[in-house]
């Protein structure tokens, strides 16, 4: 049982209350073959104007965590425990004025007043994220009219304005285009425009640049950063790419098999990583300055979804595995420096 821990114990003494606090969130997918534990007691905080990076291998529960926050899980996924505490727009900062999104009805009015309106979501694959039989303009205008009280004509001019804001050339013509008529980069820009339509306070970006080539990738990240500076929104950046993390994140949560194994300010992650998994991830980044013959990889593979290891989930692949400890008990999160927690028996008196 993982205990609740917060990142709010980090440095800044007069830090404002978190915009979004995820507490001990667990999301399961009960399927015929067994119960898939996709998210297993995840906690983190998100602050206004900041970027939280969530990093981990494929299948570690990053996207499911994000979709849980949106209360937009596909069947049969459901949140089995935990809280998603959100401080809605227009309320004074304070510990009491929070809504637990996890307790709301997924398709209820209250949740829909937040989903899309206050928390926006950008998908990895802008190709499939647009309906192929509706123009992108139709979908952009739909987003505008869902969240702003405007008529059709105003919505259209707002749409053009939004497209200009995300630097889409020939904005007016693009409204009549179908997603499959646009390039990958343009599609992702239009996607961002549909999300920015409601001027969200939290932007969840699920691998927003993975499907793009490197040049476009950099442009999209620049765009997101400048939008963040203009609006002060908070970003949750989900990625398996530590390069993106280094460029975007203020704070990082490293996930493995549905758990946050280490969370820390971005500098600590890169310069003082503690968890063997974080270290292994960092080792597997190719470096152009070193003429290494072989790229380091993490031993073994991610375990099968139905057979989660006992004890520390990483122990079967861990180079510093301690028999009798790591395979017996679950390591609790342990503070190692301000704002830096690690779940590993190598630290503290657990080992």
Partner 1 sequence: MLAYIGRRIVIALATMWGISLIVFVIIELPPGDAITTAMSLQAGGESGTSFIMTDEEMNNLRRLYALDRPLLVRYVNWLQRLAVGRWGVSYTYGGYASPTPVWEVVSDKFAMTVAVTGAATVLTWLLFVPIGVYSAVRQYSLGDYAASFIGFMGMAVPDFLIALVMLFLVFRFAGVAVAGLFSPEYIDAAWSLGKLWDLLKHLIIPGIVLGTAGTAGGIRILRANLLDEIRKPYVLTARTRGLPEMRLLLKYPLRVALNPAVSSVGYVLPALIGGSVIVSVVLDLNTLGPVLLEALRGQDTQLAAFIMMLIGGLTVIGTLISDILLAWLDPRIRKGFTG
Q: Is 78 in the site for partner 1 (CB under 8 A)?
A: no
Q: In what order do the strands lie in the sheet with 51-55?
A: 119-122, 202-206, 234-239, 51-55, 251-256, 259-265, 340-342, 334-337
- What are the φ/ψ torsions at residue 174 (nearest 5 degrees)? -65, -25
| Cα four-point dihedral sign 80, 81, 82, 87 | positive
Q: Which of 3, 58, 74, 297: binder of partner 1 (CB under 8 A)?
A: 74
Among residues 28 and 187, whose Cβ is nearest to partner 1? 187
Task: Provide the residue count of the chain.
Answer: 351
Min dist. Cβ of residue 13 to partner 1 (A): 36
Min dist. Cβ of residue 101 to partner 1 (A): 13
Is residue 317 helix, strand or coil? helix
Min dist. Cβ of residue 32 to partner 1 (A): 10
Helix%, strand%, coil% for the chain, nearest 5? 30, 25, 50
- Considering only residues 274 to 303 of the shown chain, the ones binding partner 1 according to CB under 8 A are none
From 46-54, 178-186, 232-240, 341-349, give the range in contact with partner 1 by CB under 8 A.
Answer: 178-186
Q: Cα–Cα–Cα angle for 126, 132, 135, nearest 5°?
A: 90
Q: What is the DSSP letter of 67?
A: H
Is residue 82 helix, strand or coil? strand
Q: Is 79 in the site for partner 1 (CB under 8 A)?
A: no
Q: Is 143 in the site for partner 1 (CB under 8 A)?
A: yes
State the CB neighbour count (10 A cutoff) for residue 290: 6
Strand positions, DSSP E, 146-282: 202-206, 234-239, 251-256, 259-265
Q: Which of 125, 172, 241, 320: binder of partner 1 (CB under 8 A)?
A: 125
Bridge partners for 238 per DSSP: 54, 206
Q: Is 10 in the site for partner 1 (CB under 8 A)?
A: no
Min dist. Cβ of residue 117 to partner 1 (A): 6
- Considering only residues 189 to 208 of the shown chain, the ones binding partner 1 according to CB under 8 A are 191, 194-195, 198
Among residues 114 and 249, whose Cβ is nearest to partner 1? 114
Strand positions, DSSP E, the chain: 20-31, 34-46, 51-55, 78-86, 99-100, 119-122, 202-206, 234-239, 251-256, 259-265, 334-337, 340-342
Q: Which of 134, 164, 271, 308: binder of partner 1 (CB under 8 A)?
A: 134
Is residue 236 helix, strand or coil? strand
Min dist. Cβ of residue 132 to partner 1 (A): 6
Q: Is 146 in the site for partner 1 (CB under 8 A)?
A: yes
Contacts of 154 (CB under 8 A, 6+ apart): none
Min dist. Cβ of residue 137 to partner 1 (A): 12
Q: Is 115 in the site for partner 1 (CB under 8 A)?
A: yes
Q: Is 89 in the site for partner 1 (CB under 8 A)?
A: no
From 46-54, 133-141, 216-224, 292-300, give the range in contact with partner 1 by CB under 8 A.
Answer: 133-141
Q: Is 163 in the site for partner 1 (CB under 8 A)?
A: no
Q: Which of 133, 214, 291, 323: binder of partner 1 (CB under 8 A)?
A: 133
Q: Is 142 in the site for partner 1 (CB under 8 A)?
A: yes
Can you give the binding site for partner 1, defined by CB under 8 A? 67, 70, 72, 74-75, 107, 112-113, 115-117, 120-121, 123, 125, 128-135, 139, 142-143, 146-147, 178, 180-181, 191, 194-195, 198
């Amino acid at each position: 049982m993982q205990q609740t821990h917060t990142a709010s114990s980090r440095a800044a003494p007069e830090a404002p209350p978190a915009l979004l606090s995820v507490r001990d969130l667990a999301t399961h997918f009960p399927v015929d073959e067994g119960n898939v534990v996709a998210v297993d007691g995840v906690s983190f905080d998100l602050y206004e104007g900041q970027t939280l990076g969530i990093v981990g291998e494929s299948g570690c529960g990053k996207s499911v965590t994000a979709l849980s926050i949106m209360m937009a899980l596909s069947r049969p996924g459901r949140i089995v425990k935990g809280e998603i505490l959100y401080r809605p727009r227009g309320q004074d900062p304070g510990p009491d004025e929070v809504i637990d999104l996890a307790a709301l009805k997924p398709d209820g009015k209250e949740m829909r007043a937040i989903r899309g309106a206050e928390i926006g979501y950008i998908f990895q694959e802008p190709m499939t994220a647009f309906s192929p039989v509706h123009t992108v303009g139709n979908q952009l205008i739909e987003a505008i009219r869902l969240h702003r009280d405007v008529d059709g004509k105003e919505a259209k001019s707002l749409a053009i304005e939004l497209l200009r804001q995300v630097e889409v050339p020939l904005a007016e013509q693009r409204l009549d285009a179908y997603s499959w008529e646009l390039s990958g980069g343009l599609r992702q820009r239009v996607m961002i425009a549909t999300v920015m339509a409601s001027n969200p306070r939290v932007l969840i970006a699920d691998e927003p640049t993975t499907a793009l080539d490197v040049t476009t990738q950099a442009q999209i990240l620049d765009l997101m950063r400048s939008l963040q500076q203009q609006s002060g929104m908070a970003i949750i950046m989900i990625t398996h790419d530590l390069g993106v993390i280094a460029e975007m994140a203020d704070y990082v949560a490293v996930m493995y098999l549905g758990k946050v194994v280490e969370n820390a300010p971005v500098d600590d992650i890169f310069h003082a990583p503690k968890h063997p998994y974080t270290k292994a991830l960092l080792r597997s980044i190719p470096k152009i300055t070193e003429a290494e013959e072989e790229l380091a990889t993490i031993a073994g593979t991610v375990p099968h979804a139905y057979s989660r290891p006992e004890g520390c989930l990483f122990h079967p692949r861990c180079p510093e595995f301690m028999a009798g400890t790591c395979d017996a008990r679950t390591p609790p999160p342990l503070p190692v420096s301000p704002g830096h927690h690690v779940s590993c028996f190598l630290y503290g008196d657990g080992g």
